[in-house]
Structure 1
Amino acid sequence: MTTIALNVNRRAVELAAEPRTSLADFVRDKLDLTGTHLGCEHGVCGACTVLLDGVPARSCITYAAACEGADVTTIEGLDEDEITTELRAAFTREHALQCGYCTPGMLVSARDLVLRLPDADERRIRVGLSGNLCRCTGYVGIVRAVRSVIEARRARNVAPQAGGGRTSLGPVGSGRAAPGRSEPPPAQRALAPASQSAVPGSIADFTPATVLDQRFTLPHPPAKVFAMFGDIAGIAACLPGVSLTAPPRPERVEGLIRVRLGPIAAAFEGAARVERDPATLSGRIVGIGTDQRSHSATQGEIRYRLLPLEGGAATAVELSIGYTLTGMLAQVGRPGLVRDLARRLVADFAANLDRHMAGVPPGPGTPAELSFWSIASDVLRARIARILGRRSGAG
C-alpha cells in the first residue's frame, strides 16, 4: 500500500491505496465521488474524464500514485463552476442527454472547449468531443448545447482562455510543480471560491434550467408589501424550512433550507444576494447552496413584481422561480414533484406573510423542513375531492 496525498475538489486528501489503483477507482471507492463513471477502462470512451491540474484527463488510465501533490477536480467539484452550470442548463434545454452515463465526462470535456475555442465552430467542437462516446443521443443536441454556451459567452465579451489552463506541452500533469507546492495552477485558482467553506464567497448570475411562475394576493397595499420584502429576517421567518445562519445584509444573506423528498433529507447551506427596485416595486434574489450529505447542489433565482389591486388596497405578487439542481436530488427531483413543492412553498409563504403583516401571532410555527409526504397528502385529498365532485354532479 502507498499513501497518496493530493487535493480533490479543493480538499486535501491523504489515503492509502495500492500502487496499481487508478485515479478513477481512487475517487470512486475511497472518496465516494461516483460521478466519475467507468466505461471502457481503456481511455477510449471518455466517461471517466476529470480535471487534473485544470486539464481534462482520463482517470481510468491514470495511476492515483502518479497524481501525488496534484489538484484533481471531478464533476462534483464543478457544482459551483460558472461554465459547467451554463453547460448543464444548455444540455437540458437542447436534450443533450438520455441515459446520462457519459454526461459527467462530456461536461468536463465541453467545459474545456468553452474555455479555449474563440467561436462556436461546429467542426472544432465535434473534434474536441470525439474522445467522449455516447450511445444514446446521436451527438446533435450535445454539439448544439456546447455551441450555444460558447456563443452566449462570446456575446457577453467573455474572451477565450489560451490553452484552457495548459502551461506546458506533454501529457496532462507532466508540467506541474513538485509535490507540496504552495500555489495551485491558474486554472485551479479560477475554480476555487473565495471561501473554502460550504458557503460560496460570491453569488454569480446564471441561466436556470427550470423556471416556474407563481402568483398570490395579499390584502395589503403594495408599498407595505414592498417594505416587508426588504425585511430579510422577517421574510426568512415566513419561508418554510428556512433559517438564517448569520446577520443578513442585502449583498449577502447566509442561511439554510431543509427539504425532505421521501426517504432523502437534505439541508442546503448557502448564500444569496438581494436586489430591489423601488421604482417598479420589483426585485430579485439569487442564491446558491450545497447539501454535503447527498452531494447535491442548487442555484436559485426568485424574481418578484408587485401589482396594485382593488384601487391599491391589495397586492398581487407575481413570482418567477428559476433553479438548477445537480447531484443525487436531481435524480428524484422530477419537474412535476418540484412544481408541487413550489406551489406548497408559495402557499405557505403567502399565508405566513399575511399573518406577519397583519400582526397576528404565529400559529404552530414554520415547518422545520419541506416534506414530500405532506405535499402528496394534499394532492391525494384534492384528487379525492374532484372525484367526489364529479360523481355528485353526475347524480
Structure 2
Amino acid sequence: MNTVALQINRRAVEASAEPRTSLADFVRDKLDLTGTHLGCEHGVCGACTVLLDGVPARSCITYAAACEGADVTTIEGLDDDEVTTELRAAFTREHALQCGYCTPGMLVSARDLVLRLPDADEQRIRVGLSGNLCRCTGYVGIVRAVQSVIEARRARNIAPLADGGRTILGPAGSGRATSSSSEPLTIRQALVPASEGTAPVRIPDFTPATVLDQRFTLPHAPAQVFAKFDDIGGIASCLPGVSLTAPPRPERVKGSISVRLGPIAASFEGAARVERDPATLSGRIVGIGTDQRSHSATQGEIRYRLLPLEGGAATAVELSIGYTLTGILAQVGRPGLVRDLAKRLVAEFAANLDRHMSGASSGRAAPAEFSFWSIASDVLRARLARMFSRVIGKGGAE
C-alpha cells in the first residue's frame, strides 16, 4: 500500500492505495465520489473523464499513485462552476441526455471546449467530443447544447482562454513539471524562441507514460557511429519528417517533426536538448513540442546505447523511446499503432543513417507518411501468426 496525497475538489486528501489502483477507483471507493463513472475501463468511452491539473483526462487508465501532488476535479467539484451550470441547463433544454451514464464525463469534456473554442463550430465540437461515447442520444442534442453555451458566452463578450487556461507544461496529473529553479515551467516559456529576447529555457525532465524499445544494426564501428551522433544536423536529416529551424546546439535544438498516418496528420514544433556519455557510448535526447492544429502537446526522450558487433566492425544500436501525449491526438494514439509506427520510423532512420555514413545523401526531407491500411494489415498478419503458432504449439504438445 502507498499513501497518496493530492488535492480533490479543492480539498487536501490523503489515503492509502495499491500501486495498481486507478484514479477512478480511488475517487469512487476511497472518497465516495461516484459521479465519476466506469464504462470500458480502457480509456475509450470517456465516461470516467475528470480534470487533472485543469486538463480533461481518463481516470480509468490513470494510476492514483501517479497523481501525487496533482489537482483533481471530479464532476462533484463542478457543482458551482459557472460553465458547468450553463451546460447542465443546456443539456436539459436540448434533451442531450437519456440514461445519463456518459453525462458526467461528457460535461467535463464539453466544459473544456466552451473554455477553448473561439466560436460554436459544429465540426470542432464534434471532434472535441469524439472521445466521449453516448449510446442513447445520437449526439445531436449534445452538440446543440455545447453550441448554445459557446454562442451565449461569446455574445456576452467572454473570450476563449488560450489552451483552455492551461499554463503548465507536463502530462496531466504530473504534479506540474518544474524547471531546475523549482519554478513552474510554462508552455510559452519552453517554446519561446531565443530571438525574442529571452534566455533559452532548460528542457525539463519527465517520466514517460509509454516506453518502446527498438534495436537495429549498422555496418560501422561504434566509435564512428557515436561520432556521427554528435552531428546533430546530419542525424536530423536522417530522421523521417524532422527539420531544424535554427542552428543546433547540444543544450537546445529547435525544430519540427511531421507525421501523417492516413487521414491523421500532425506537425509538432518544439525544442530538445542532447546529452552524451563517451565513456559508455550512450546518450539521451529530451524534447517537447506542440501541434497547433490539434492543440496537442508531447514530451519525448530517446535513450541510445551502442554495442560492438563482429569484433568491433559493426554496431548494435539499442533505443528506448519514451513519450507522453496530451490533447486530441492522445485519443487516437493507441499503443499498438504507435509501436508499429515507431518500428517503421526507426527502420527508415537506420537505412538513412547507413547511407549517410557511407557517403550518400539520406534524401529525406518530406514528412514521414505511412498507409493506415498497410500498418493495420501488418498488425493483423502478426496477430494471425501468433494465433497459428499457439495452435500449432498445442497440437505438437498433444
TM-score by length of 2: 0.53
Residue 77, structure 1, aligned to residue 166, structure 2: yes
8 Å Cα contact 2:240/2:345 also seen in 1:
yes
Change (3 A) 1:323 1:372: farther
CA separation of 1:203/1:243 partners in 2, compared to 1, >3 Å: closer, same or farther? same
> 1:225-264 to 2 correspondence within 5 Å?
225-264=225-264
Spell out the pairing of 1:31-42 with structure 2 (5 A cutoff). none
Report what 2:320 is aligned to.
320
Question: Cα gap change, 1:331/1:240 in structure 2, threshold over 3 Å: closer, same or farther?
Answer: same
Supply the distance in 2 between the matched residues of 1:251 and 1:309 (Cα, whole angstroms): 31
Amino-acid identity (%): 63
**Equivalent position of 2:306 in the other structure:** 306
* Residue identity opposite 1:193 in structure 2: Q
1:372 offset after TM fit, Å?
A: 4.3
Q: What's the RMSD between the two structures over aligned residues?
A: 4.5
2:195 counterpart of 1:193: no
**CA offset at residue 30 of structure 1?**
2.6
Cα–Cα, structure 1 residues 87 and 315, in superposed 2: closer, same or farther, change >3 Å? same
Alpha-carbon distance in 2 for matches of 1:300, 1:378: 26
C-alpha spacing 1:86/1:313, structure 2 compared with 1 (3 Å): farther
Give deviations 1:168-200, integer Å, cap 9, x for gaps: xxxxxxxxxxxxxxxxxxx8x967416557999
Higher mean C-alpha deviation, range 354-363 or range 218-227: 354-363
Structure 2 CA distance for aligned equivalents of residues 192 and 256 of structure 1 = 16
Alpha-carbon distance change, 371 to 281 in structure 1, aligned in 2, over 3 angstroms: same
What does the per-residue CA deviation read over 1:226-271, in whole Å, with 9 as the maximum and x for residues that have no partner? 0010111111111111111211111111111111133121111111
Equivalent residue number for residue 335 of structure 1: 335
Residue 295 of structure 1: how far off its partner (Å):
1.3
1:283 alignment partner, SS class: strand
1:320 Cα deviation after fit: 0.5
The 1:87–1:242 alpha-carbon spacing in structure 2 relative to 1, beyond 3 Å, is same
Q: What residue is the counterpart of 2:367 in the other structure?
A: 368
TM-score normalised by the chain length of structure 1: 0.53
Structure 2 match to 1:168:
none
The Cα offsets for residues 11-56 of structure 1, whole Å up to 9 and x where unpaired, read as xxxxxxxxx9899546346387967999xxxxxxxxxxxxxxxxxx
Counterparts of 1:15-26 in structure 2, within 5 Å, are 25=114
Give, in whole Å, the separation in 2 of the partners of 1:315 and 1:281: 11
Structure 2 CA distance for aligned equivalents of residues 237 and 279 of structure 1: 26
Q: Which amino acid aligns with 1:288?
A: I
Residue aligning to 2:282: 282
Question: Following the alignment from structure 2 to structure 1, what is the Cα–Cα distance between the partners of residues 358 and 182?
Answer: 48
Deviation of 1:77 after TM superposition, in Å, equals 2.9
Residue by residue, what CA displacement relative to the aligned partner does 1:203-237 show, whole Å, maximum 9, x if unpaired? 21111100011111111110000001011111111
SS in 1 for 2:340: helix
- 1:269 and 1:289 in contact (8 A); partners too: yes
Correspondent of 1:87 among 173, 176, 179: 173
Kindly tell me: are residues 76 and 261 of structure 1, through their superposed partners in 2, closer, same or farther at Cα, counting changes over 3 Å?
Answer: farther
SS at match of 2:279: coil
Cα distance in structure 2, aligned partners of 1:234 and 1:157: 33
| Correspondence 1:50-61 to 2 at 5 A | none
SS in 2 for 1:333: coil
1: distance between equivalents of 2:277 and 2:115?
50
Q: Is the CA contact 2:353–2:362 (under 8 Å) kept in the aligned structure 1?
A: no
Equivalence for 1:293: 293
CA distance in 1 between partners of 2:240 and 2:187 (Å): 33
SS of the residue corresponding to residue 189 of structure 2 reads coil
Call closer, same or farther: CA 1:253–1:194 in 2, change over 3 Å. Answer: closer
* Cα contact 2:244–2:254 (8 A) shared by 1: yes
Distance 2:341 2:189 in 1: 30
Deviation string 1:333-387 (CA, Å, 9 cap, x unpaired) is 1000000011111111111111111224546x46522324353455567779999
Distance 2:163 2:385 in 1: 49
> Size of the alignment, in residue pairs?
258
Partner Cα distance (1:317, 1:222) in 2: 9
Does the residue aligned with 1:248 lie in a helix, a strand or coil? Answer: coil
SS across alignment from 2:258: strand
Mapped partners of 1:279, 1:328: distance in 2:
41
- Judge which range, 378-387 or 346-355, deviates more: 378-387
1:181 counterpart residue number: none
Corresponding residue number in structure 1 for 2:359: 359
Kept in 1, the 8 Å contact 2:115–2:164? The answer is: no
Aligned counterpart, 2:223:
223
Secondary structure, counterpart of 1:233 in structure 2 = helix
SS for the counterpart of 2:265 is: strand
Q: Work out whether residues 205 and 286 of structure 1, in 8 Å CA contact, stay in contact via their aligned partners in 2.
A: yes
Asked whether 1:207 is paired with 2:231, we answer no
Gaps of at least 5 residues in structure 1 are: 1-8, 10-19, 39-58, 89-113, 116-148, 160-186
